[in-house]
Amino acid sequence: MQSLQKQFDLSLAYPQWQGSGRHENLPRGAAAAAAVCGRYAPLVRVPLDDGNVEAAYGVRRWEAVFAQFRSAQDILARSGARRVLTAGGDCAVDVAVIDYLSGIHPGLRVIWVDAHLDANTPETSPSGNFHGMPVSAILGRAPEPMRPFLRAPLDPARFHYFGIRVGDDGDWALQRELDLKLLDPEVSIDGPVHIHFDLDALDPREFPYVAYPEGGLGIEDAIALVGRIARESDLVGLTVTEFAPADEDEAREGSKTIARLCEAALDP
C-alpha cells in the first residue's frame, strides 16, 4: 500500500466547533478525525480560541471563528505544505485551507461534497452560524473583516457541488446567481483539486454520526468518488468535517469511514 505521506505533507487538526449550531459532539469527532488523519502526515493543531460568545458581522461567536481562521492561516503559511489533509471541526474550517491551496496551486478546483449548500452570507443566514457560509466566503462574500486576509475569490466555474439536498433561500439564491454547478459523474476531472467532504453528505442509515443527518450518499459510492478524483486529477487537498459521534464507541466506528476516505485519496 502506498503511504499517504507521498500525497499529503501536512495533516491539519482544526477542531473549530463555534461555526456549528449543534456543536455538542463536534469536539469528540474532531479529536477522532485528527487521530485518523495524523496517521498519514505530520499533524499540526490549530488552537481553540474561547473568544466572545456574542455575534458580530452577522456571525455567531465571531471572535473565536476569526481568531482560529488567522491561526490556521499562519500555520499553513509557515508549513510550506503543498498537499493538505484536514480534520475538522465544522465546515467553515475549509475557508482558510482552500484560500491557502488556491495560492499554492493556480487553477484549483473545489469539489464540495455536502448535504447542504453552505452558501449563505452574513446578510442572508437565518442562524448566523458560519458553517453555513464557507462556500459564499471562498467565492468572495466573506464577512467584511475577513476579506483583507483572503486571496482573490475562487472562480465559480472551478467549483462543483456533489450530494447537496438542503438549503435556505439565501443558499439557493447565491447558487443561482453564480451558476454553481453539480459535479457530473461522467466528466473527468483534471488539474489540482481539493475535496471538501462533510460527513453529513452520507446516508444516515449507513453513517448516523452527524448533527444534521440529511444526506443520501452511500459510503461505498463516497469512497468510489474520492478514488476516482484521486486517479483523474492532482488531489492536493482533502478536508473531512462535521463528525459528531455521541460517544467513544461511535467515534471508533465512524473513524473507520474517515480512514477509508483518506485511503481512497491514494487510489492509483
183, 162 contact by CB (below 8 A): yes
201 and 113 Cβ atoms separated by less than 8 Å: yes
Class of domain 4-264: alpha beta
Residue numbers in the chain where pLDDT is lower than 70: 1-6, 268
* b/e 48-78 (16+ beta carbons within 10 angstroms → b): bbebeeeebebbbbbbbbbbbbebbbebbee
Which residues on neighbouring strands pair with residue 182, listed in sequence order? 161
User: What is residue 212's DSSP assignment?
Assistant: S
Residue spans per domain, the chain: 4-264
Predicted local distance difference test score (pLDDT) of residue 5 = 39
What pLDDT is stored for residue 4 in this prediction? 40
How many Cα atoms within 13 Å fall on the side-chain side of residue 245? 19
pLDDT digits (tens, 9 = 90+) for 102-153: 999 999 999 999 999 999 999 999 999 999 999 999 999 999 999 999 999 9
